[in-house]
Structure 1
Amino acid sequence: MLIRKFKINESGLNRFFGPLEAKIMDILWNDVEMTIKDVQQVLDREKLTNFNTVMTVMNRLVEKGILQKRVEGRSFLYQPIQTRHEFLNMQSREMTNELMDEFGNVVVSHMLDALEDVDDELVAKLELKIKELKKEL
């Protein structure tokens, strides 16, 4: 379930989803399974949207392969196919691979420049990964 449209000027889940999709995914990633009505009620606390809109968006997320649904009695229960961590990990890995394929050395240079703004633990992880890669060669 790779998201093809990454929005640079957005933040958080809005980089991958539309605003309502992001809110729905945020709700579902914080619960186990929910019906459309359950999700709509959470959104309704903020007066965000009606049932039909939520139903349409959730079913589109199913079509995109982001949510799965199953029947229980007369209701459909929805849940994300991946955890939030799995989703973000996959998206960032794919994005990094695409940037490396297209821009190579420039991307590495910018990533190294960005290390000035990160903590020492991340730099240590990078150094360990580089040592591992050198051993494989």
Structure 2
Amino acid sequence: MEKIATIGLDIAKSVFQVHGVDAAGEVVVRKRLSRARVIPFFAKLPRCLVGIEACSNSHHWARELIALGHDVRLMPAQYAKPYVKRGKNDAADAEAICEAVSALWLKKTRKVPLQPRKFLDFCWYQVNFLENNISISGG
């Protein structure tokens, strides 16, 4: 398999569509994967840029792919919409996401932090301490 530089991943409830291109922009892979086959597929790939439309479970998948070493970018659906060339289907959406994430103007997409939970836990403890008038001495 040729070296994949960029992947567009369209997330659905049970089936995911992958569209991958090399550095020259030539299509290298177009696959339809079940939920169980997504992680094994990406585990075999070398590090690459992965674009995902922001949705309810995209942060989960972004963290999973970051743990595998990939550079993941989330983007609103409006960013990928201008790149859709044909009818609304998973393959067309994955291709549009792939093109949008590799566009030069799209450098301000959100990079997903690997450990966002630690900050949320800290905020929860801080609010809990303030509500219960608990103070922690600094000495």
The answer to whether the superposition gives a TM-score over 0.5 is: no
Higher share in strand:
2
TM-score normalized with structure 2 length: 0.29
Q: Which of structures 1 and 2 has the larger relative contact order (alpha carbons within 8 angstroms, sep 6+)? A: 2
Higher share in helix:
1
TM-score normalized with structure 1 length: 0.29
